[in-house]
Structure 1
Amino acid sequence: MDTWLSEHPDIRSIRVAGCDLNGQARGKRIPTRFAGKITEDGSRFPFSVLNLDIWGEDIEDSPLVFDSGDADGVLLPTERGYLPMPWLGTPTALLPVWMFHENGKPFDGDPRQALARIKERYTEQGLTAVVATEMEFYLIDDTGRMPRTVPSPHNGKRRTGSETLGLRALDAFDEFFTDLYDACEAMDIPADAAISEAGLGQFEINLMHVDDMLKAADDAWLFKLLVRGLARKHGFAASFMAKPYADYSGNGMHMHFSVLDTDGNNIFDDGGPKGSEQLQNAIAGCLNAMPGSMLILAPHANSYDRLVPGAHAPTKLCWGYENRTVAIRVPGGNHKARRIEHRVAGGDVNPYLLLSAVLGAALDGIAQKLTPLAPVTGNAYALDAPELPATWQDALDVFQTDPAVARIFPKALINNMAMTKRQEIGEVATLSEEERIALYLEFL
C-alpha cells in the first residue's frame, strides 16, 4: 500500500473511512506522513460509529455506547488499498477500512464483515458469486426549497420532460460524465454503459460483473461517494435517494448475479432458456427472504414512495422470465450467462447489506432445495399475488423476527439495524415533507 503513496507524491492527506449501516462513510483525515502507522497498526474509533442514525447521532440505549463504555474497535485497511479522491480540490487518498475487535475477531456490526461471512459460506460450498449492479441517480439543483433539474451546461435550460435513452441528455453533461469515467478508471470501478433514464435529470451507469462479491459491493459504495462528490465539483448535486420527485421514476439499484462452481461453470445454466434447478432454488430462496429483508432493500421512509404500483418498481412477491414488473427477473440472452436480476432495492441502500441479503438468501435456497411458485407473465401489478411490506414500520417488524434474516445476518447486526431504524422512524415522523426531502437529498 505504501508503494501506491510513493508513486503519488502529490497526495497531501488521507481519508480513513469505513461504511456504517446506512452506507455513510465514517472516518478520519490523516496527514500523509503518518500513513505508515495506519497501514501497519490500523486506526481506532468507537464500535458505535458504524451504528449511527442517518443524522450521525448515537442510537439511544444501544449496547455499543454507554453500556460498553463506548469502546474502540480496530479499523484495518481492506484489500482495496489507497484510492484517489478526484472530487476534492487537494490531492487526497481514500483508505477504505473495516472493523475488528482487539483480538482480531471481525466486528459483527460492520456491514462489510457481514458480506465477508456470506462470501465464506459460498467458498465452503465451492461456489463463487459473479455480481453486477445498475446504479441509478439524479443530477439535481438543490439550491432552492425543493429539488429541481440542473440547467443544461450547453444552453442553461432545464429539462421539462423525460428523455429515456436520449443521447442529447447525456451530451449536455458530457464534461461531468467524462470526468466520472476517468475517475472510475483511476479508482478501479468497472463503469460500463451510461444512459439517460425516465426521470428528469436521471441517469444510470452499469457496473460490470466481477467474481468477488466484496469488490462488487466496494465498487457500488465507492461509486456513490464518487458521483456525489464529483457532482458538487461541477456545481450541482447528485442523489441516489429512492424517490426525489413524486411524479417521476425512482432510483433503483438492480443487482444481477450468477454462481460458478469450482470448474468455473455457471450452475444456473442448463443449456436452455429456463435455467437449471439450482436457478429455481436460488430464486425461491430470494423470494422466501424478501419480506424479512425489506428493511435492507428499502431502508428509509422515502424508499416506500418508490415501491408503488405502476412506477417501474416491484410491489408483488413474484418472479418471471424477461418481465420487468416482477421482483425477480431472469433475463434472456445467451444461456451461458443465465442469471438472476433482483429488482427490489432502491438506490438508497447500503451495498454491503444488499449483497449480503440477496446472496445469502440465494445460497439458503440452494442449500434447502427450495422450489418457487410458477413464474408469472404479463403485468405483475395486476396479479392477485402476495404484497411486499409497504411501510417502513411493517418492514422493521418483519425484519426482527424473520428466520431467513436470522440465517443470513449476525444477531448483533439485526439488533443494531432495528434500533437504528426505530430511532429514525420516530424522528422522521416529526418532519414535514419538505424537510424529509432535504434530509435524504443531503445524505443519500
Structure 2
Amino acid sequence: MPAPSLDWLRTHPEVRTIRAAACDLNGVPRGKRVPSRYAEKVVTEGTRFPMSALNLDIWGEDIDDSPLVFETGDRDGVLRPTDRGFVPMPWLEAPSALLPIWMYHEDGRPFDGDPRHALASVAQRYRARGLTPVVAVELEFFLIDDSTRTLQVPVSPRSGKRRKAAEILSIRALDAFDQFFTELYEACEAMDIPADTAISEAGLGQFEINLVHTDNVLRAADDAWLFKWLVKGLARRHGFAASFMAKPYEDYSGSGMHAHFSVLDAAGQNIFDDGGARGTAALHHAIAGCLRAMHDSTLIFAPHLNSYDRLVPEAHAPSGISWAYENRTVAIRVPAGAPAARRIEHRVAGGDVNPYLALAAMLGAALTGIEDEIAPPEPVTGNAYALDLPRIPTEWGDAIDAFEKSDLMKRIFPDMLIRNMVLTKRQEKLYMGELTQPEQTEIYLDTV
C-alpha cells in the first residue's frame, strides 16, 4: 500500500502534533502522539508498538493469559498508515491531526489480531468472487450530563432547560443542541466523514446520524470509528458527554449501529435486485447466512456486559433470530423502496461495537450464505417479539462460549482474533462482576 501524502500537513502548518492510532478489539484508539516535524518518518517507515496493545481489556490492561504478552516476549508489530491519510481532530483545543494506522508483522504479513485486517480479509473474499459490498451505517448515541452519579439529559444551551423525555423525530430536540450539531457536521466535513440525516430517537437524549453508503467497506468502518471518536470528543468540548453505550438508561431504548448493505457484481449490478419487492435468490442466501451465524456472532454485536440490557423484547432491538420485509421488530429487515436499492438491514449490533468487527461479521456471514446457497426460513409478519423464535443469547458468558466454539466464525475470522477476543471478554467478565452498576456504567460511558 502506498504511503499517504504529506501534502495535507504542509498545507496545515498550524498542526504541531499528530496522533498515530490503530483500533483495538474494543474499538478503542491505541497509539502515539508525535510532533509533526517527525511525521514523515511515521509515514514512510511506520511506527512500532507491542502486538498486545491491540488486545487490551476495556480498562486498557494486558490480558493475563494472552500469548501475545510474556509467552512471546511482548514483541512489537509494525504499524503502517492506512490509505485514509491525515485527518484533523476538531474536538481538540490545539490544532492536531490523526494518522490512522494498522498492524503488520516484521515481514509484511498482516497481523491477524488487527480488526481492520479482519474486515479487509472479508472484503478480499468478496473481490475474489467478483463482488463488491455497498455499505451504510446508522449510529445512535446519547448526549448525557454525567456530572453527578445520576445520568440525565444535558441542559439545553438554547433554553437553559433539561427536557426529561424521549422525543422521537423531534425537531425541537435537535434544535435544543443546535450549536453542537452544527459543529458536528462541520467537523465531519473537515474529516471527510459523510454524515447525512440526523434525527432524535426513542431514548432519553438519544440521537441518530446516518453515514452515506460506500462501496469501500474499509472506508465505511473507518468513517464509523472516526465518527464515534469525534462525537465523544466534541461533546466534552460542549460540557457534556456523548456515549455509544448500548443501554445507559434502564427505562429507555438502547443505542444500535444498524448496517445496510447490498452487493454489486462485476458489471455494477445489485445482485439482490430482481426488479420487484421479493429480491433474488442471492438476497435470500445472504439473509440465510446472516441468520445462521447470528447466535454464534452475538459477541461481536454485543461485546460488553451492558450490551445485553439492550437485547430484550419490545425495546426497539431484536431479541429473536428472524427476518422480514419492512419490519423493525426483526433482526434482519429488507427495507421497501426501489428494487435497484434492494438491500439488507442488519439490526442486531449495539452502538458499543467495534465497527470493523461488526461489518466483518455481517458481511462474512452473508457471504457464507451465498457460498453455500442456503435458504432462509419464511419471513415473519407482525410483531416478532410475540413469536416463538430462536433467540439471540441473553447472557454475556453464553455469547463468549458460542463465539469460541463456532465453526462458522472460523470461516469469517482468523483463529488468533477469535482467541484474543475470547480471552479479552473472559477477563472483562471476571472483573466486571466485582464492580457495582454505577462503576460499570462509568467505564462503559466513555470507552465504547
1:51 aligns with 2:55: yes
Write the deviation string for residues 206-254 of structure 1: whole angstroms up to 9, x where unpaired.
0010000000000000000000000011111100000010001100000
- Cα drift, residue 401 of structure 1: 0.8
- Shifted more, 211-220 versus 143-152: the winner is 143-152
Q: Indicate the residue corresponding to 1:251 in structure 2.
A: 255
Structure 2 distance, partners of 1:234, 1:385, is: 44
1:366 aligns with 2:350: no
Q: Indicate the residue corresponding to 1:25 in structure 2.
A: 29
Q: Indicate the residue corresponding to 1:304 in structure 2.
A: 308
**Partner-residue secondary structure (3-state), 1:60:** coil
- Counterpart residue type for residue 386 of structure 2: A
Q: Indicate the residue corresponding to 2:85 in structure 1.
A: 81
1:124 aligns with 2:128: yes
Pick one of 178, 201, 207 that aligns with 1:203.
207
**Partner-residue secondary structure (3-state), 2:255:** coil
Give the 5 Å matches for 1:51-200.
51-200=55-204
1:345 aligns with 2:349: yes
Structure 2 distance, partners of 1:356, 1:140, is: 30
1:13 aligns with 2:17: yes
1:230 aligns with 2:234: yes
1:392 aligns with 2:396: yes
Give the 5 Å matches for 1:318-329.
318-329=322-333
TM-score, normalized by length of structure 1?
A: 0.99
Q: Indicate the residue corresponding to 1:216 in structure 2.
A: 220
- Cα drift, residue 18 of structure 1: 0.1
Structure 1 distance, partners of 2:281, 2:426, is: 39
- Counterpart residue type for residue 212 of structure 1: N
Runs of 4+ deviating beyond 6 Å: none
Structure 1 distance, partners of 2:263, 2:298, is: 23
Q: Indicate the residue corresponding to 2:6 in structure 1.
A: 2
Structure 2 distance, partners of 1:288, 1:139, is: 35
- Cα drift, residue 434 of structure 1: 1.1
Paired-residue identity, %: 65
Write the deviation string for residues 20-65 of structure 1: whole angstroms up to 9, x where unpaired.
0000000000001001100000000000000000000000110000
Structure 1 distance, partners of 2:42, 2:439, is: 39
- Counterpart residue type for residue 95 of structure 2: P
- Counterpart residue type for residue 291 of structure 1: H
Q: Is residue 232–residue 446 contact of structure 2 (8 Å, CA) maintained in 1?
A: no
Structure 2 distance, partners of 1:390, 1:146, is: 26
Q: Indicate the residue corresponding to 2:415 in structure 1.
A: 411
Structure 1 distance, partners of 2:403, 2:30, is: 25
- Counterpart residue type for residue 432 of structure 2: V
- Counterpart residue type for residue 436 of structure 2: S
**Partner-residue secondary structure (3-state), 1:211:** coil
Structure 1 distance, partners of 2:311, 2:113, is: 28
Write the deviation string for residues 318-363 of structure 1: whole angstroms up to 9, x where unpaired.
0000010000000000010000000000000000000000000101
- Cα drift, residue 442 of structure 1: 2.3
Residue correspondences, number: 444
Q: Indicate the residue corresponding to 2:39 in structure 1.
A: 35
- Cα drift, residue 146 of structure 1: 2.4
- Cα drift, residue 95 of structure 1: 0.2
- Counterpart residue type for residue 179 of structure 2: E
Write the deviation string for residues 148-203 of structure 1: whole angstroms up to 9, x where unpaired.
11001112211121111110110111111111001111111100000011111100
Structure 2 distance, partners of 1:146, 1:300, is: 21
Pick one of 259, 267, 271 that aligns with 2:271.
267
**Partner-residue secondary structure (3-state), 1:28:** strand
**Partner-residue secondary structure (3-state), 1:210:** coil
1:276 aligns with 2:280: yes
- Counterpart residue type for residue 261 of structure 1: D
Write the deviation string for residues 66-118 of structure 1: whole angstroms up to 9, x where unpaired.
00100000000000000000000000000000000000000000000000100
- Counterpart residue type for residue 235 of structure 1: G
Q: What residue ranges of structure 2 are gaps of 5+ in the alignment?
A: none
**Partner-residue secondary structure (3-state), 2:30:** strand
